[in-house]
Structure 1
Amino acid sequence: MAQESGMGAGFGGLMRYKEEYDSKFKFGPGAVIAGIVIAIAFVTVLRFIYA
């Protein structure tokens, strides 16, 4: 037979948190994609300069 673990039933991960998190920084999807493209271009330029 299996032993009891001694842990209670708990909430099973169903606790309610604030559903909408308000952040000071709000970026749209276009700004995130532009930032990624700029970072990739920057790293590529640095690889050509220091290669």
Structure 2
Amino acid sequence: MELNYETTSAFAKSFGLLYLIALSVAITLYAYWPSLGPRFEKAANSVLDDEDGPCR
């Protein structure tokens, strides 16, 4: 196998595509994992809990 631009480019494109698909699946699984729901809910509500009054 000769290592030229076309071979390297094809490998990089296919590896990059598979890498991004795997990363997207992993992030989606992390976001929807049932045991992490309370942590995300706490983080979402913590922004609203710290408000004492108007911004200024």
Q: Calculate the TM-score normalised by the size of structure 2.
A: 0.42
Higher relative contact order (CA 8 A, sep 6+): 2
